Amino acid sequence: MTDARPVALLLGAALVAAVASPVRQNWSAEKVDDFPLSYYPMFSARRRRHGRVVHVVADHADGTTRDVPYRRLGDGGFNQVRRQVAKRASSAAGADDLAREVLARLSGDLEPPVRVRVLRSTYVYDDFFAGHRAPLRSVQLGAAEPVPAATPPPAHVVPAAPAASAAPAGPAAPVVPGGDHDERKAG
């Protein structure tokens, strides 16, 4: 039998060289990311300090503001819904429509919101990932509030008396039973 170790050693060395070959992209002027041999630029590339996010928040009667979970905003996964929200909020009318639709979806909750807002917030990445979740700034793109239902007047209100007629005031003619002015005969 022949010894398989040199062949295995040669194949192992070729495999290690192929997997390590994308590292040379780090020193190249024209970086090319190629699947399946990738140098993972998403992890090694410099990222911006700030990031913008379009999101929907619900304001409640107790004064709290909560982000609306993406599952309540649309169908699909997180990134798909995030793109749909950003696209709809690209115009003021679209942001207002989105806020009204979300408000209608949330109106059946145990604690329905008093207002739904569509915001574009800017976050500092380092602060956000360090636990400081407050945005650097937020711009309201759209909003919706519930329309109050028309309430009937209270039952104890007495309707107003009809206005007096313009007929001249004077003594009223007596009603004589069986006479010409008897209202019981009219009809």
- According to DSSP, residue 1 is labeled -
Q: What are 149-184's pLDDT values in tens digits?
A: 666 666 665 666 666 555 555 555 554 555 554 454
Question: Is residue 38 located within the same domain as residue 62?
Answer: no
| pLDDT > 90: percent of the chain | 50
Residue 173 lies in a domain: no
- Structural domain total, the chain: 2
Confidence of residue 69 (pLDDT cuts 50, 70, 90): very high
Q: How far is CA 1 from CA 4, 5, 12, 164, in A?
A: 9, 12, 21, 126
pLDDT of 22:
75
Q: How far apart (Å, rounded) are the C-alpha atoms in residues 47 and 147?
A: 44
Residue 136 lies in a domain: yes
Q: What is the mean pLDDT of residues 62-79?
A: 92
Question: Is residue 138 located within the same domain as residue 119?
Answer: yes
Cβ neighbours of residue 90 closer than 8 Å, sequence gap 6 or more = none
Beta-sheet strands, E only, within 38-95: 50-59, 65-67
pLDDT of 187:
47
Range(s) of the domain holding residue 29: 14-43
Residue 72 lies in a domain: yes
Q: What are 26-59's pLDDT values in tens digits?
A: 777 777 766 666 666 666 667 789 999 999 999 9
Is residue 96 a contact partner of residue 139, using CB atoms and an 8 Å limit? no
